[in-house]
Amino acid sequence: MKELQSIVHILRSTTNGVLATLVKVEGSSYRRVGARLLWNPEGLRVGSISGGCLEDDLIERARVVYTSGEAQLVVYDTTSENDLVWGVGLGCHGVVHLVLERVSGLSPALKGVADAWEKRQAAVIALAFGDQPQQRGTLAGATAQGTVWVSDRASALAVEENAARCLTSQHSHYSRWLEGPNSSPVLWEYLPPPLRLVIFGAGNDALPLCHLANELGWRVVVVDPRAAYATRARFPLADEVRVLPADAADTLTWDPWTVAVVMTHHYRFDVPILKAVLPLNLGYVGLLGPKKRADQILGELADAGLKLTEEQRSRFHAPVGLDLGGSSPETVALAIAAEIEAVLNTRDARPLRQRSAPIHDRS
Task: Quote the pLDDT of residue 292.
Answer: 96
Task: Quote the pLDDT of residue 182.
Answer: 67
Task: Supply the DSSP symbol for 192.
Answer: P
Q: Has residue 291 got a pLDDT over 90?
A: yes
Which are the contacts of 288, defined by CB distance < 8 A and separation ≥ 6? 201, 205, 261, 262, 263, 265, 319, 320, 332
Q: Give the whole-angstrom CA distance, residue 212 versus residue 140.
A: 34
Q: Are 228 and 353 in contact (CB under 8 A)?
A: no
Average pLDDT over residues 43-67: 89
Q: Are 217 and 245 in contact (CB under 8 A)?
A: no
Q: Give the whole-angstrom CA distance, residue 261 versus residue 317.
A: 9
Bridging pattern class, strands 123-129 and 184-191: antiparallel
Q: What is the pTM of this model?
A: 0.89
Q: Has residue 178 got a pLDDT over 80?
A: no
Match domain 196-344 to its CATH number in 3.40.50.720, 1.20.1050.10, 3.20.20.10, 3.20.10.10: 3.40.50.720
Q: Has residue 312 got a pLDDT over 90?
A: yes
Q: Has residue 145 got a pLDDT over 60?
A: yes
Summarised one tens digit per residue, pLDDT across range 232-267 is 999 999 999 999 999 999 999 999 999 999 999 999
Which are the contacts of 205, defined by CB distance < 8 A and separation ≥ 6? 263, 288, 329, 332, 333
Which are the contacts of 179, defined by CB distance < 8 A and separation ≥ 6? none
pLDDT more than 90, % of the chain: 72
Least Cα distance to 20 among 40, 37, 2 occurs for 37
Q: Has residue 86 got a pLDDT over 50?
A: no
pLDDT range class, residue 78, cuts 50, 70, 90: confident
pLDDT range class, residue 361, cuts 50, 70, 90: low
Summarised one tens digit per residue, pLDDT across range 200-232 is 999 999 999 999 999 999 999 999 999 999 999
Which are the contacts of 146, defined by CB distance < 8 A and separation ≥ 6? 160
pLDDT more than 70, % of the chain: 92
Query: By mean pLDDT, which of 143-152, 264-273, 280-289 is the weakest?
Result: 143-152
Q: Has residue 91 got a pLDDT over 70?
A: no
In the chain, where are the structural domains located? 1-106, 108-193, 196-344
pLDDT range class, residue 166, cuts 50, 70, 90: very high
Task: Quote the pLDDT of residue 89.
Answer: 44
Q: Give the whole-angstrom CA distance, residue 177 versus residue 186.
A: 6
Task: Quote the pLDDT of residue 360.
Answer: 63
Q: Are 7 and 46 in contact (CB under 8 A)?
A: yes
Q: Which residues pair with 137 in a beta bridge?
A: 128
